Chains A and B, each alone.
Chain A
């Protein structure tokens, strides 16, 4: 059947085209097939990257297309690296990445370990735990904003019920000390299930016979955890940390929806600063340089981390 179709196609192909196709090698044909994808990739990924690198050395502003574009050399980079506000934004980002990863890993791994016990109804609980991850960040951001409302929000009332502090005094999004934690709480609530899933995959990949051997050697549960479970699940945990680290380094939506970077600049992470420079102040050249610095930072850190991950895997 297939041969007959191929014959029909061959017969229907005009002779000049058929002659051309016959002359193409397998490698050439392969290139022919993947070239549309490569072209698309070049157009929407690689070209913008190189264009951004070019713009980062200029004073170009997207809202003034008629102005003469001047080459500034490394002036944009120098200004960014010497800008106190940029460093504060980077510190805010680091604070956010550190605490979200720490909490998500601890809670995610604990949940995975509990789910792995395969207690009655564990499938139901797994599904329930995964719900936050399935929601859109826009939805999550908006409903948590209402939950945090000091006058009508359930969160404030719940905390008030426990602490006896009036709910109107629990201003999660307006208070300078609480606002960063309000974002960390929401991000942890939403993405811990993701870490849990990866950890669960790691725990389920540990062969049962290793535990059986440990039982024979009369190793305690504690010893089994430290000597078998944790080391063997470590590459998976590290992978989850890598994914969440990269994601949270460029976190934008949740911060934008919950605090918009405020109060003041308390929760202004690097991506919010970048957006403000690029699309509100229209400093295209300057923001391109900032984007390149962020890209190099994430790329560099991720590379170092991947090397460490490979070492752990080889152990």
Chain B
């Protein structure tokens, strides 16, 4: 009787202990929220090392880009506990900081000796700081990204096309350095027969629903001289947003859309752009750098057939590119902030960042991107570096959503639907943005 009692007690305690251990393990599992895209898969792979090192399990909540903002902003606004860590879009930083969604990381960085000077400056301003250009950090730069261009190197190097192009435009067919050159190349390829197939000039952003056309148009407008506000007087937009230079930039974007995009490309963003390039429809393709590793590996258009170039210069020689990418933050409603901070500390490590780059993520750590071997590490590495040096970003104000919706509407109405003039569109944008800032009590 005694021995059977001991056996029963032993079994019970063993079961209890094993359940307790597994409960502890589950209690420590962290959930990381991000968009469902290629870099997210790389992060899953990378995070296995974190689990190995710390014993903390990682779960992931990835949402397609089209629902990414809706889904996670709802989660944050409702103070949800789904995400312990979030890789939020750069424009969210103002709202997330002011509404208390993210944990402020300054003390943690000081304690763990993580210095923001070790990261690419543009990514620190873009992904971590709020207010901008102040040492208040809400995220660790996680995924550097920028709008750049890919082109069909194999088509560009066809001797007969090179000859014809030189005769027509008087300069050698190659990656464009100005927007005028880009348009000439796009016109040259538009509706051309190549290898028995009709091809088109360029794929550009025209999407209406989320942020597509704004990212594309701004990518051009910056280099034409567009400014969001008077540098000396914040929120003064008249004469800056709708300056003559901005008007010319928007007119150029419309002209590029009208002359040189594939038929029906009126609602095209990242996915549609990749499809157009992969299916051999276009000679050039505007997209965020995160798409480049996938395209490089593509059997039909990758390898030696693809080339990369930085966003070209505007008419006055100015050159900027639209910033993409995100920082990683700890959600202030999480019950596992300590473990989440451990992840941030681990992620900031140089070796981890080097592996992150090798797996297809874009590291923002200087030690990785300024390594002498970096430019040769991938065919697109130099273009990425050059692009990151000239970035500008959209408003990151707490009211970024209505600001974005206004630009989406104004740009799409003019560029795609052809309603009104570029001047009307930008004047309207000044009016809309002024209203938003007035509602916020900032004007």
* 5 residue pairs bridging A and B, Cβ less than 8 Å apart: A64-B95, A171-B263, A260-B209, A265-B419, A281-B402
Bound together, the chains give a CA A44 to CA B433 distance in angstroms of: 36
Bound together, the chains give a CA A279 to CA B100 distance in angstroms of: 20
Q: Which of B405, B409, B417 contacts A176 (CB 8 A)?
A: B417
* B371 contacts A by Cβ under 8 Å: no
Bound together, the chains give a CA A279 to CA B402 distance in angstroms of: 10
* B117 contacts A by Cβ under 8 Å: no
- B208 contacts A260, CB within 8 Å? yes
* B161 contacts A by Cβ under 8 Å: no
Query: Which residues of B are at the interface with A, using a C-beta cutoff of 8 A?
Result: 70, 73, 77, 79, 95, 99-100, 198, 208-209, 262-267, 281, 398, 401-402, 404-405, 409, 412-414, 416-419, 439
Contacts of A171 in B (CB 8 A): 263-264, 266
Bound together, the chains give a CA A62 to CA B79 distance in angstroms of: 11
* A282 contacts B by Cβ under 8 Å: yes
- A64 contacts B266, CB within 8 Å? no
With A62-B77, A260-B208 in contact, is A265–B266 under 8 Å at CB?
no
With A150-B264, A263-B417 in contact, is A65–B77 under 8 Å at CB?
yes
* A212 contacts B by Cβ under 8 Å: no
With A63-B95, A65-B99, A174-B416 in contact, is A262–B264 under 8 Å at CB?
no
- B401 contacts A282, CB within 8 Å? yes
Bound together, the chains give a CA A168 to CA B404 distance in angstroms of: 31
* A250 contacts B by Cβ under 8 Å: no
- B99 contacts A173, CB within 8 Å? no
Q: In the complex, which range does the number of interface residues on chain A fall in?
A: 20 to 34
Contacts of A149 in B (CB 8 A): 264
Q: How far is the CB of B69 from chain A (nearest CB, A)?
A: 8
Complex: chain A residue closest to B76, CB-CB: A63
- B405 contacts A262, CB within 8 Å? no
Known A65-B99, A262-B267; further 14 A-B contacts with Cβ < 8 A? A64-B95, A65-B79, A148-B264, A150-B264, A151-B262, A174-B266, A176-B417, A262-B417, A264-B409, A264-B417, A264-B419, A265-B413, A276-B405, A282-B402
Contacts of A174 in B (CB 8 A): 263-267, 416
Interface membership of chain A positions 56-79, coded 1 if the CB is closer than 8 angstroms to chain B and 0 otherwise: 000100111110000000000000
Q: How far is the CB of B207 from chain A (nearest CB, A)?
A: 8
- B417 contacts A266, CB within 8 Å? yes
| Max count, chain B CB within 10 A of own CB: residue among A149, A168, A264 | A264
- B263 contacts A151, CB within 8 Å? yes
- B402 contacts A265, CB within 8 Å? no
Q: Which of B70, B100, B412 contacts A263 (CB 8 A)?
A: B412
- B405 contacts A281, CB within 8 Å? yes
Q: How far is the CB of A290 from chain B (nearest CB, A)?
A: 14
Bound together, the chains give a CA A150 to CA B203 distance in angstroms of: 16
Which A residues from 248 to 305 make CB contacts under 8 A with B?
259-266, 276, 279-283
- A173 contacts B264, CB within 8 Å? yes
* A7 contacts B by Cβ under 8 Å: no
Contacts of B409 in A (CB 8 A): 85, 264-265
Main secondary structure of the interface of B (DSSP, over half): loop
Contacts of B405 in A (CB 8 A): 276, 280-281
Contacts of A176 in B (CB 8 A): 417-419
Contacts of A150 in B (CB 8 A): 263-264
Bound together, the chains give a CA A281 to CA B433 distance in angstroms of: 12
Please give me the 3 A-B residue pairs with the lowest Cβ-Cβ distance, nearest first. Answer: A264-B417, A174-B266, A264-B413
- A59 contacts B417, CB within 8 Å? no
Q: Which of B262, B267, B401 contacts A260 (CB 8 A)?
A: B267
Bound together, the chains give a CA A65 to CA B263 distance in angstroms of: 44
Contacts of A169 in B (CB 8 A): 263
Complex: chain B residue closest to A176, CB-CB: B417
- B418 contacts A64, CB within 8 Å? no
- B267 contacts A173, CB within 8 Å? yes
Contacts of B417 in A (CB 8 A): 176, 262-266
Bound together, the chains give a CA A84 to CA B59 distance in angstroms of: 47
Bound together, the chains give a CA A291 to CA B264 distance in angstroms of: 33
- A64 contacts B401, CB within 8 Å? no
Bound together, the chains give a CA A173 to CA B209 distance in angstroms of: 14
Which A residues from 8 to 52 make CB contacts under 8 A with B?
none
Which A residues from 121 to 173 make CB contacts under 8 A with B?
148-151, 168-169, 171, 173
- B264 contacts A151, CB within 8 Å? yes
Q: How far is the CB of B372 from chain A (nearest CB, A)?
A: 45
With A260-B208, A261-B208, A264-B419 in contact, is A63–B264 under 8 Å at CB?
no
Q: How far is the CB of B269 from chain A (nearest CB, A)?
A: 11
Bound together, the chains give a CA A173 to CA B401 distance in angstroms of: 26
Contacts of A151 in B (CB 8 A): 262-264, 281
Contacts of B267 in A (CB 8 A): 173-174, 259-260, 262-263
Contacts of A262 in B (CB 8 A): 208, 266-267, 412, 416-417
Q: How far is the CB of A79 from chain B (nearest CB, A)?
A: 9
- A168 contacts B263, CB within 8 Å? yes
Complex: chain B residue closest to A172, CB-CB: B264
With A63-B99, A64-B398, A260-B208 in contact, is A265–B412 under 8 Å at CB?
yes
Q: Which of A59, A63, A173, A283 contacts B73 (CB 8 A)?
A: A63
Q: How far is the CB of B193 from chain A (nearest CB, A)?
A: 13
Q: How far is the CB of B201 from chain A (nearest CB, A)?
A: 14
- B264 contacts A264, CB within 8 Å? no
Q: How far is the CB of B190 from chain A (nearest CB, A)?
A: 12
Q: How far is the CB of B408 from chain A (nearest CB, A)?
A: 9
- B99 contacts A66, CB within 8 Å? yes
Bound together, the chains give a CA A280 to CA B416 distance in angstroms of: 21
Bound together, the chains give a CA A176 to CA B100 distance in angstroms of: 43
Complex: chain A residue closest to B404, CB-CB: A280
Q: How far is the CB of B405 from chain A (nearest CB, A)?
A: 5
